[in-house]
Amino acid sequence: MLGKRNPQRSYFDANNLPNQVPDDSFYGRMGVVNETLFCDTDLAEMYCDNNGRPSLPPSLMCGVLLLQYYNDVSDGETVERLKFDLRWKVALHLPLDYAGFDPSSLSIFRGRLQKHSKERYAFDRFLKVARKSGFIPDKVSLLVDTTAVKSAGAVQDTYTLLRKGLRKLLKTLGYSVPGKRRGLSTKTETLINTYLLEPDHKAEIDWSDQEQRKSQLKTLVQDVEQGLDLAAAEANDPEVRHLGWLLTKILGDDLETDENDHPQIAQGTASDRIISITDPEMRHGRKSSAHRFNGFKASVAIEENSELIMDIHDMAASSGDGKELIPTVDRVEHHVGVEVEQAIADGAYASGDNLAGCANHSPNPVDLLAPLQQPADPEVHKSAFHIDQEAQTATCPQGQTVSGKIVRDAKKREVLKFTFSREICETCPLFSRCVHSKTNGRSVTTHFHEDHLQAARQRQQTTEFKIRYRKRARVEGKIAELAGHGIRNTRYLGEPKRQLQRLWTASAVNLKRLFTLADCQKIDLLPVLSVLGHQKQAAITT
């Protein structure tokens, strides 16, 4: 049943007594707008309306969550601060003798938010305040970038992945229940005893001995295949089917057979390799050749002038930054109700597909401002060739012209490939720098969106581009601010919970920015928050 905050304040309310919390601090400012910051009736659908005890007021719980992510503290520490931290009492309008609640209430409240798809509640509410206050215009320019994010799961080697995956599969199949184990074959009973009933420990072998490692791997593979055979009979269960797919993928990505048809660890690393049974969605990733990490990437988009976070979203660590650009634009336009007219991003976003996707974006085109990679040797780079796509010809920097032929790229799209005569190439003074093949002359293949790439390369040489592109650095400052509030350390397992953490951390950062913008422009946020609350209450009453 929905519980509501009592408007009658206690004499011992921290805000009614002299205190040392500065009025211009985040906590002091939050205390001023606390009564209208969140509205209990906004989240009424999360509670039964005619049964049960009154809940902890959702407006209070939202404020607590906001401060939890602002201070980057655990559930236990959150309750401790509620009871003993004067700043939190001022921010939330709590009495000095507030007794707090059980930390599990925070987990239950987050679960309610996810169940009712309210993860974006605070984030969207603050953006509405920014819109009504005039901080966000109808047409916006986005500054976009990503940051590496650690996972809450543990990175595991192939042996551990197979062992723990098989243990989890057998448990999901129900073999931990004694009745399920009746009438099993000796072979199956041995498998269950080894991986499910006995303590989960790594095999006691000499791991420095290659032969013992090979023998253990062979045993593991045989046991996993036996477990997959057991799972085949219950393939209709989604969890069993998922675990079966997981183990099959690990076998395919991590292993190969030697000359004796025995399993061995494969050379190289699959791009989408699973690295944890605890968190199967985490991946190996890198932000640069020197910066490798395990986990995810968080894509962040801010509005150019207000520097408010307009979108934050998880993406796979192994995927390129640019893959999230168009979805980011779509989410901003859908949730914030603005038109994105320009996106400014680094070179990771400057692909032909992104340039074309932005130019053809519906309902309005988006101007993508992102630099293409500068060639190491401009004289022999593809950009130095004059390509006429209509005539299907290409002319090299030394004047040799050839006709192209139509081939297909990795996405099965038609592109042009030009191959120059090796005999003529060998007479060219640029031959050693231009041609790397030992048998053929230089070859050049166009991109499916070659026109967009050529236009972008010419544009980035202009002064206007260089001046506008400087503003991209602001998003890096915002990411650093988010990192200070714990955004790079994931607390939870599973995409919905991860996304909730990202959104509420961004909400706290946005609220801090709203306070700053309101001070600079001398705008009172209290009436705007009150209007939003009244509108919601009126809609519910109607």
Residue type at 283 in one-letter notation: R
- In this prediction, residue 142 carries a pLDDT of 97
Reported as a single tens digit per residue, the pLDDT across 23-73 is: 889 999 999 888 888 998 899 899 888 888 888 999 999 999 999 999 999
Tokens of 297: 């990437």
Instruction: Give yes or no for residue 215 having a pLDDT over 90.
Output: yes
Q: What span, in angstroms and rounded, lies between the C-alpha atoms of 181 and 369?
A: 63
Residue 538 neighbours by CB distance under 10 Å: 9
Instruction: Give yes or no for residue 534 having a pLDDT over 50.
Output: no
Strands (E), 269-413: 283-286, 292-303, 309-316, 339-344, 367-369, 386-388, 393-395, 401-403, 405-408
Q: What 3 state SS string does 225-247 have?
A: HHHHHHHHCCCCCHHHHHHHHHH
46 burial level (CB within 10 Å; 0-12, 13-18, 19+): middle
Name the band, by pLDDT with cuts 50, 70 and 90, for residue 541. very low
Residue spans of the domains in the chain: they are 14-136+500-541, 158-265, 382-448
Q: What span, in angstroms and rounded, lies between the C-alpha atoms of 472 and 476?
A: 8
Q: What span, in angstroms and rounded, lies between the C-alpha atoms of 243 and 228?
A: 9
Most confidently modeled of 1-5, 244-248, 270-274, 423-427? 244-248
Instruction: Give yes or no for residue 486 having a pLDDT over 60.
Output: yes
Q: What span, in angstroms and rounded, lies between the C-alpha atoms of 124 and 341?
A: 20
- In this prediction, residue 531 carries a pLDDT of 60
Pick from 12-26, 174-188, 380-394, 509-523: least confident:
12-26
Name the band, by pLDDT with cuts 50, 70 and 90, for residue 532. low
Name the band, by pLDDT with cuts 50, 70 and 90, for residue 542. very low
Q: What is the mean pLDDT of residues 67-93?
A: 95
Closest of 7, 102, 4, 104 to residue 54, by C-alpha:
4
- In this prediction, residue 259 carries a pLDDT of 86
CB 358 within 8 A of CB 158: no
- In this prediction, residue 11 carries a pLDDT of 66
Q: pLDDT averaged over the chain?
A: 90
Beta bridge partners, 298, equal: 147, 314
- In this prediction, residue 536 carries a pLDDT of 40
CB 510 within 8 A of CB 127: yes
Instruction: Give yes or no for residue 540 having a pLDDT over 70.
Output: no
Reported as a single tens digit per residue, the pLDDT across 332-375 is: 999 999 999 999 999 999 999 999 999 999 999 999 999 998 88
Name the band, by pLDDT with cuts 50, 70 and 90, for residue 537. very low
Using alpha carbons only, give the angle 214, 217, 219 rounded to the nearest 5 degrees: 110
Name the band, by pLDDT with cuts 50, 70 and 90, for residue 394. very high
Name the band, by pLDDT with cuts 50, 70 and 90, for residue 97. confident
Pick from 7-11, 69-73, 282-286, 452-456: least confident:
7-11
Pick from 139-148, 282-291, 501-510, 527-536: least confident:
527-536
What percent of the chain has pLDDT above 90? 69
Angle of the 104-115 helix axis to the 58-71 helix axis, nearest 10: 110
Q: What 3 state SS string does 338-365 have?
A: CEEEEEECCHHHCCHHHHHHHHCCCCCC
Closest of 345, 371, 369 to residue 359, by C-alpha:
369
Pairing relationship of beta strands 386-388 and 443-445 according to DSSP bridges: unpaired
CB 338 within 8 A of CB 136: yes
The residue that leads in pLDDT, 488 or 5, is 488
pTM over 0.95: no
CB 486 within 8 A of CB 78: no
Q: What span, in angstroms and rounded, lies between the C-alpha atoms of 80 and 96?
A: 13
Q: What is the mean pLDDT of residues 480-508?
A: 95
Pick from 47-56, 219-228, 348-357, 525-534: least confident:
525-534
- In this prediction, residue 14 carries a pLDDT of 75
Instruction: Give yes or no for residue 5 having a pLDDT over 80.
Output: no
Q: What is the mean pLDDT of residues 205-212?
A: 92
CB 125 within 8 A of CB 532: yes
| Sequential DSSP letters for 489-517 | B--SSSHHHHHHHHHHHHHHHHHHHHHHH
321 alpha-carbon distance from chain centroid: 10
Q: What is the mean pLDDT of residues 446-452?
A: 92
What percent of the chain has pLDDT above 70? 97
Instruction: Give yes or no for residue 153 having a pLDDT over 70.
Output: yes
- In this prediction, residue 444 carries a pLDDT of 93
CB 297 within 8 A of CB 145: no
Q: What span, in angstroms and rounded, lies between the C-alpha atoms of 199 and 194?
A: 8
